[in-house]
Amino acid sequence: MGKEIQFTREGFAKLKKELEDLKGPTRMAIADAIREAKSHGDLRENAAYHECKLNQSRLESRIADLEKALQLAKIVERPDASGAMAHLGSKVKLRDLEFDDEFFVTLVGSFEADPAKDLISIGSPLGESMLGKAIGDEFEVEAPRGNSRYRIIGVE
């Protein structure tokens, strides 16, 4: 079997809900769209039909990915003894020392990561650099555009 995938409890529940939605209402909507497109005649020149089939293929691929991830899932609880240390599931307040900017990120497993929503993977350079660090600790992250320095100013 493959390598386990770490999840927060919330991330696991979110993925499970997404899978249920994809296997239920979304799958039904695509099937209905395919039936509708088929009714328009010659399938060789039916762009709507081909688009629906492509959407169906993408959906089935996503369902397979989610099923595999949930099968390999390991829910990791934030340790009670961690106090003010950054761990999987922690919401961390950081200060960018170069720009003197403050922001929050939440440390999550790689499958849950969504930087646009400030969900940072513990396997990413930023996430990996802050794991185990406490309030007041400073660290540097190597990035393609140059190194960045941060200070942890809060952990929830």
Whether the Cβ atoms of residue 77 and residue 6 lie closer than 8 Å to each other: no
Distance CA 103, CA 86 (A): 15
Q: Express each pLDDT in 66-107 by its tens digit.
A: 999 999 999 988 766 556 789 998 999 999 999 999 999 999
**pLDDT for residue 30:** 97
Whether the Cβ atoms of residue 88 and residue 6 lie closer than 8 Å to each other: yes
- For residue 54, the Cα-to-chain-centroid distance in whole angstroms is 24
Residues of the chain with pLDDT under 70: 1-2, 79-83
Whether the Cβ atoms of residue 112 and residue 8 lie closer than 8 Å to each other: yes
Number of C-beta neighbours around residue 60 at 10 A: 14
Domains, in order of start, for the chain? 5-75 (1.10.287.180), 80-155 (3.10.50.30)
Task: Tell me the pTM.
Answer: 0.76
**pLDDT for residue 37:** 92
